[in-house]
Chains A and B, each alone.
Chain A
């Protein structure tokens, strides 16, 4: 149930298309996006920055690796923003198509696209 002092967010799903370089359709994309403009600083989010490695650190790593003759591997985390854990209580209305009673909302445990704290979480 929705707590009175907590924000209820409505959500928008957004769809897009991804194309191959020759213009043919690769796949459809859809994502659930939070209406972040309803969030209030101090109540629904605190910090919004993200930690990134400093360019000097990256340069130093490359220099060391090259001199030592080590191998470098690269990985890419898929949908990284959806992995963040939220420490604030945020609720959302179930998306259209879910048949749930009017009074029921979802408690969000992981971050979603467009939440203010997604970068930080």
Chain B
């Protein structure tokens, strides 16, 4: 089965292997699309979208939120910030981990968490450079990110009903900022709305 993004009139359909979301301003047309799809494939209709790819979708009249609060954490320690100021991690810091698997799993989970938590993306960018041979020092930094996430778990991605669909792009770059290989770092963000991480 091929996944794709179709634009047919006003109906938008996204397919992610076997998960599908359909959106339209005409509920009757959604029903029509659903009917024809279930004619071809065995499907279960999950009704209005609440969870898509582990992302929770919630809405009130004026406000929409995307969140991944269901990420389960058993550690209850929290941290106020993601990283200490002016930390320069390098590959040779500390003792290598005996089993790097856990570190790699955590990086994988945190990369996906970045979908609704762009605030952690810089830390993950730094920490994911060491997945090949992580050390105790890197591990302690990843734990700090988890503690920060624990303390801010209720933050969600906010979409306002009244915002315009005007794209806004921001970018920034450093010059040769990496202390080990003097590579530069660049980043960009494109907004179609004005998102904020809101505290509940």
Contacts and interface: CB of A to CB of B under 8 A. Distances in A.
A50 B17 contact: yes
B48 A72 contact: yes
Nearest to B50: A74
Contacts of B47: 73-74
Contacts of A10: none
Contacts of B15: 53
Given A63-B165, A74-B22, 17 more contacts: A50-B17, A52-B16, A58-B16, A70-B25, A71-B24, A71-B30, A73-B47, A73-B48, A73-B49, A74-B50, A75-B45, A76-B18, A76-B44, A77-B18, A77-B19, A80-B17, A80-B41
Interface in A45-104: 50-53, 55, 57-80, 83-84
Interface string B1-40: 1111100000010111111111111010010001001000
Interface of A: 50-53, 55, 57-80, 83-84, 119, 121
Question: Which has the most chain B C-beta neighbours within 10 Å: A53, A74, A75?
Answer: A75
A121 to B, nearest CB: 8
A49 B192 CA distance: 30
> Contact size class for B?
35 or more
Interface of B: 1-5, 12, 14-25, 27, 30, 34, 37, 41-50, 52-53, 57, 59, 64, 66, 115, 159, 161, 163-165, 192-193
B42 A77 contact: yes
B161 A67 contact: yes
A62 B44 CA distance: 21
Nearest to A54: B5
A72 B58 CA distance: 11
Given A52-B16, A62-B57, A80 B21 contact: no
B117 to A, nearest CB: 13
A67 B23 contact: no
A77 B30 contact: no
Given A50-B17, A64-B165, A67-B193, A75 B37 contact: yes
B163 A67 contact: yes
Contact of A52 (B17, B24, B27): B17
B5 to A, nearest CB: 6
